Amino acid sequence: MKRVSFLGLGVMGYPMAGHLAANGYAVTVYNRTPEKARRWTQDYAGEVAETPDAAVDNADFVFMCLGDDPDVETVLTHAAGALPRSAIVVDHTTASPSLARRLHDELSELGVGFVDAPVSGGEAGAKNGKLSIMCGGDGAHVELARPVMEAYGARIVHVGPPGHGQLTKAVNQICIAGILQGLSEGVHFATRAGLDIDKVLEAISGGAAQSWQMENRARTMADDEFEFGFAVDWMRKDLRIALTEARENGARLPVTALVDQFYADVQAMDGGRWDTSALVRRLSDSD
């Protein structure tokens, strides 16, 4: 059985590493908060490493699910010297495409593969093993990692060369931002019009307006519930990556830029840890 390391046991990484253990892989975990790593071993079979280099020693595959570019760079700086030649590093962090391309080139010089593989599906997708994974990198490395990622990935697509996984995740977040703003306005309008929100959703969710966000968030938006799901702070980080890339490639993202500022308003309401559907609270609080 392949030896795997998982670096980063946050909301997503914790259950993802758990799926690897449940599928029989020999898993070593590392987390910057050691208590969380030790708690993970109470829930799953595996070992804890105190440092990133100890975690990756002898690993066939190294998975990362961290916060942002600086976190990835810090962890890999400590781990790089211990990475076995022929190991494959799979980065599930949503990070910048430029970082992915650079890490691919740097690790290639060490004989180590690198796949940028951000995920979509949120905490529920991670817990249920139903994530969508968009992979950039060498096709051979993606195919070697695919059977391992299938422990928690329901859809795994090789979208192109290094950095293209991160670019595809940017597309994903651009689309979600627009959908959530439209859904927020629809729920807000329905509430102000005195409509029965359950009947409204029953009527429209089978038609062209239907979306994952409507199916999973419209009811909680109407109930003013946001203490779950993908945090606004992380969405703003993802939109920052998308908008930065757009400035470089000339893409025009007027709606995305506007929704990003709306999320800044939500942060100003102390909503940085609320679910991204909290955009609707910005509308209701402006009444």
Distance separating alpha carbons of residues 31 and 11, to the nearest angstrom? 12
Q: Are 170 and 241 in contact (CB under 8 A)?
A: yes
Distance separating alpha carbons of residues 228 and 57, to the nearest angstrom? 35
**Contacts (Cβ under 8 Å, ≥6 apart) of 145:** 61, 88, 90, 115, 117, 135
> To 5 degrees, how large is the angle CA 72–CA 75–CA 80?
110
Distance separating alpha carbons of residues 240 and 215, to the nearest angstrom? 27
Is residue 169 annotated as part of the catalytic site, yes or no? yes
Candidate list 36, 127, 130, 169, residue with the active-site label: 169
**Catalytic positions, please?**
169
